Amino acid sequence: MHAKPAAEPLAVHTATHPVHAPHAHHGHGPAATHADAHAHHTGAHHGDTDNGPRKSWAVLALALAAQILVVLDISVVNTALPTIGRDLGLDGSDMQWVVTAYLMMSGGGLLFGGRIADLLSRKWVFLTGLAVFTIASIVSGFAGGATELIAARAAQGLSAALMTPAALSIIMTTYSGAQRRTGLALWGAVGSLGVAAGALLGGGLTTWAGWQTIFWINAPIGAVALLAGLKVIPAVTTPRASLNQFDLTGAATVIGSLVALVYALGATEQHGWLSPRVLLALAASALLAVAFIRMERRVANPLVPPHTWKVKSLVSGTAVMLGVTGILVGAVFLTSIFVQTVMGYSAIRAGVAFIPLALAITVGTVLAKHALAHGTPRTIAAIGLLLVAGGAALLAQASTGAGFATDVLPGMVIIGLGVGMVFVPVSVSAMGGIPPQHAGMASGFLMTGHEVGAALGVAVISAVASTAGSLTSVTGVIEGFPRGFLAAAGIAAVMAVFAYLRMPAVRAEGAAMHMHH
């Protein structure tokens, strides 16, 4: 369940650079639409006429339909998890994998997906991603056990990593002027609406039609979109790409490192933190990460261009993004299990329970937007992270006999406000000094931090919570819930210090304005 930060302001820049056209993966949060509203206001001064004839909205409708599937499939699972767990006999680490397999593959494969969309036909990359996503969704619904479901979710994630950058670059290359701005504003809205809509849809379908339908609903939408896409999306001939342009080894090592790390965290529940299995997996993850860094220095076309690591504002912003998204998605994961397992909520009630969180994130982004005119990005991000730490510490007090309005809602709203306040300064400062030709790569880098953070957040927070017992038993959840949230509070406090020390200390007004134009 995500609200996403805005990379759209850049998109207006990249008008003539559809390369990687910002891979803002899985949509963006409320900040995005605000940025585009600004673009509309300033349009009058920048020639608000369309460059060339108006294009049909059919291509945009298709790209958005595919993106809605991708966004919903992150959050739709959260409210269905306890039911899926009971039906398929999943343990705590299996439930965590159902969420992280998707996020890990989509995040780990995002930069590679962007590269593929740049080098091959965007139309066919998009349609291939959509076809695989649709098939993987059907397989997910038919899964009879943990292995099948987790493998199908990983396939969904990989296809999302292909589909999203291709969809966004199709919007960027098909439309211009006011039409493009409208497209980007709608793309941003999809991300923020996905937060509440996914939880509600997941809860409703699980309660009324069974958890399988949260996956099967993708099949008719995907099939119609595929048939329409074949006709509607313009085919563009691209020069033949050679294999060495793709950096396959880079993509494989970065995903391998992530898988090993998440596996290690998931295995702690059954085997303990110091078991040979966990230590071996952690060592494998570290080795693959080192191999990735070393190989990236040598290959002709690295996934992440070497100069990226020297852009301090981008690297620090991505690190903060990773931390704050991890806490948000981990908190949603744990809270969804708590309200259903301990408080006895149905899946639909759990879905409704997350609406205040989505609203709080929206309010937080609006507050941060205004605060940026008066303070530095690092100060606003640090305050937001301290709010997140406070909200998590408050949630850690909940136990047996907890009431939603008194024990869950206040902490959740404070976390939402804090998260919203972090998203905006991170997006603005990370992208502030990026030249237009590198905008796509930079936003892809930032979004990779976002997705990877989400996967790691669920893994870390559930691993800490599981030290008290299994997250499938009531006593395990009651004991583990406070531990998970105390860990989240600690991470948020450390991130607040990091944000204050490493993020830009200058006011972002100029950068923010520049980015909108």
How far apart are alpha carbons 198 and 415 in whole angstroms?
19
Helix, strand, coil in percent for the chain, rounding step 5: 80, 0, 20
Report the pLDDT value the prediction gives residue 3, as an integer from 0 to 100. 43
How far apart are alpha carbons 22 and 12 in whole angstroms?
10
First to last CA, the chain: 30
In the structure, what pLDDT confidence band is assigned to residue 501 with cuts at 50, 70 and 90?
very high
The three-class DSSP label of residue 403 is coil
Q: What is the mean pLDDT of residues 422-427?
A: 88
Residue 58 has which token pair? 């059919």
* Tens digits of residue pLDDT in 143-162: 999 999 999 999 999 999 99
Are 442 and 430 within 8 A, CB to CB? yes
Most confident region among 4-13, 75-84, 181-190, 193-202 by mean pLDDT: 75-84
How far apart are alpha carbons 390 and 313 in whole angstroms?
26
The three-class DSSP label of residue 234 is coil
Residue type, 381: A
DSSP result, 368-391 = HHHHTTTS-HHHHHHHHHHHHHHH
Most confident region among 4-8, 228-232, 495-499 by mean pLDDT: 495-499
Question: Which residues have CB under 8 Å from 106's CB, separation 6+?
Answer: 25, 26, 70, 157, 158, 160, 161, 164, 451
Report the pLDDT value the prediction gives residue 195, as an integer from 0 to 100. 64
Residue 16 has which token pair? 């003539």
Question: Which residues have CB under 8 Å from 362's CB, separation 6+?
Answer: 3, 29, 30, 192, 420
486: closest CA among 271, 252, 265, 327? 327
The secondary structure of residue 26, as a DSSP letter, is T
Residue where the block lists tokens 């090592």: 253
The angle subtended at Cα 93 by Cα 454 and Cα 67, nearest 5°, is 35
Q: How far is CA 390 from CA 138, 190, 491, in A?
A: 41, 29, 11
Report the pLDDT value the prediction gives residue 216, as an integer from 0 to 100. 96
Residue 276 has which token pair? 């040979």
Answer with the residue of higher pLDDT: 23 or 195.
195
- The pLDDT mean for the chain works out to 83
The three-class DSSP label of residue 27 is coil
Q: What is the mean pLDDT of residues 450-477?
A: 90
Among 25-29, 312-316, 484-488, whose mean pLDDT is lowest? 25-29
Report the pLDDT value the prediction gives residue 465, as an integer from 0 to 100. 93
pLDDT at 490 over 90: yes
In the structure, what pLDDT confidence band is assigned to residue 508 with cuts at 50, 70 and 90?
low
Could you count the other beta carbons within 10 Å of the beta carbon of residue 370? 9
How far apart are alpha carbons 189 and 29 in whole angstroms?
7
How far apart are alpha carbons 184 and 44 in whole angstroms?
18
Report the pLDDT value the prediction gives residue 440, as an integer from 0 to 100. 67
Inter-helix orientation angle 355-371/177-209, to 10°: 150
The angle subtended at Cα 98 by Cα 92 and Cα 102, nearest 5°, is 145
Residue 515 has which token pair? 């980015």
How far apart are alpha carbons 191 and 189 in whole angstroms?
5
pLDDT at 10 over 70: no
Q: What is the mean pLDDT of residues 485-507?
A: 93
How far apart are alpha carbons 347 and 336 in whole angstroms?
9
Most confident region among 229-243, 402-416, 501-515 by mean pLDDT: 402-416
Residue where the block lists tokens 């709010």: 387
User: What is the sign, positive or negative, of the torsion defined by CA atoms of 515, 189, 335, 268?
Assistant: negative
Are 256 and 288 within 8 A, CB to CB? yes
In the structure, what pLDDT confidence band is assigned to residue 271 with cuts at 50, 70 and 90?
confident
Report the pLDDT value the prediction gives residue 24, as an integer from 0 to 100. 38
How far apart are alpha carbons 485 and 462 in whole angstroms?
10
Beta strands in 26-157 (DSSP E): none
Side-chain-side CA neighbours of residue 340 (13 Å): 28
In the structure, what pLDDT confidence band is assigned to residue 52 with cuts at 50, 70 and 90?
low
Among 84-88, 396-400, 409-413, 429-433, whose mean pLDDT is lowest? 429-433
Q: What percent of the chain has pLDDT over 70?
A: 84
* Tens digits of residue pLDDT in 162-218: 998 888 888 888 888 788 888 877 887 776 667 668 888 999 999 999 999 999 999
337: closest CA among 66, 83, 36, 124? 83
